Structure 1
Amino acid sequence: MTRYLKLRRKALHILQTELSEDLCYHGMAHTLDVLKVCDGYISRGKLYGEKAMLLRTGALCHDLGFTTSYQNHEEHGITIALQMMKDYRYSPVQRRVVVGLIRATEVPQTPKTHLEKILCDADLDYLGRDDYGKISNLLLKELKHFGVELTREEWRQKQISFLQKHNYHTTYAQKYREPIKQGHLREIRDQQSN
């Protein structure tokens, strides 16, 4: 477990010191939120030892690439994560699992393993929570900063499209997040018709 704690300290330091302040959505708060949601899955699913460590490592590292690039951040994050995992003596098999976890979070998400499904659902957990509006506004603000100009109507359409195409992968998220997400979708559609 000390490997993970050392990597955690290093990853959080990188995020804290190297992430642009303009990343108001993909910032440190998002990574900590994903980690917290993963901890809930670990507790509910009774995931112990190595599986829990690898899931937490994936959660910590999944957006590290934003420290170097806004585009293709997953690949940049994998490079950073691989170096850290080598430094902290993660085995080649463990490194492969974490690389798979990071890649699975790329949208559209395509998780294959149980851990990948959990991380993907944790990454987009907010879609099915009451803080969806607040967090989606942070994403819009971030996109604008990075040169994506959207009218109010274009942003609504983008949200509708994303929520329609998105699928949760775990039984928990399908039961507890999907209904709330569908409510957000209805609400956004209703705003559009007004």
Structure 2
Amino acid sequence: MAENIIERARDYVLQLLLSKLPNDMSFHNAMHTQDVVKAAIEIATESRFTAMQSEIVTLAVWFHDCGYTTVYTNHEDSSKIIAADFLNRNNYPQEMTVQVLA
């Protein structure tokens, strides 16, 4: 299940960023998000996170800047709404969704 939800999140977020991010958003873009995900996975691996901890962190990082597709100020709140909606639609466990959004 882990790879499935992470792959679906990756595909969803990349499509969202590529299609809805304002053209003048030169830093918090798809490439930046991919770089942050890569770094987070490296840190989780080196820190010996459990598979579940790694999954939660990876999902959180995929969604961390997607709120910029709707609003610049307080984009974090928008990112959480987008993530919660995606995770709910994908039947992700509620107790884990809370951790992704934390």
TM-score (norm 2): 0.91
> Which structure 2 residues correspond to residues 1-194 of structure 1 after superposition, within 5 A?
1=2, 2-100=4-102
Q: Structure 1, unaligned stretches of length 5 or more?
A: 101-194
Question: What's the Cα RMSD here?
Answer: 1.1
Query: More relative contact order in 1 or in 2 (CA 8 Å, sep 6+)?
Result: 2
> Which SS does the other structure have where 1:11 is aligned?
helix
Larger Rg: 1
Deviations 1:123-148 (A, max 9, x none): xxxxxxxxxxxxxxxxxxxxxxxxxx
Distance 1:61 1:53 in 2: 13
Distance 2:81 2:15 in 1: 17
Is contact 1:3-1:89 (8 Å) kept?
A: no
Distance 2:8 2:25 in 1: 25
Is contact 1:65-1:78 (8 Å) kept?
A: yes
How far off its partner does 1:48 sit? 3.3
Distance 2:13 2:55 in 1: 14
Q: Structure 2, unaligned stretches of length 5 or more?
A: none
Distance 2:23 2:31 in 1: 12
> Which SS does the other structure have where 2:49 is aligned?
coil
Q: Which amino acid aligns with 2:46?
A: R
Deviations 1:103-129 (A, max 9, x none): xxxxxxxxxxxxxxxxxxxxxxxxxxx
Distance 2:29 2:99 in 1: 24
Distance 1:3 1:60 in 2: 11
TM-score (norm 1): 0.49
Q: Percent same amino acid at aligned positions? A: 24
How far off its partner does 1:4 sit? 2.1
Runs of 4+ in 1 over 3 A off after TM superposition: none
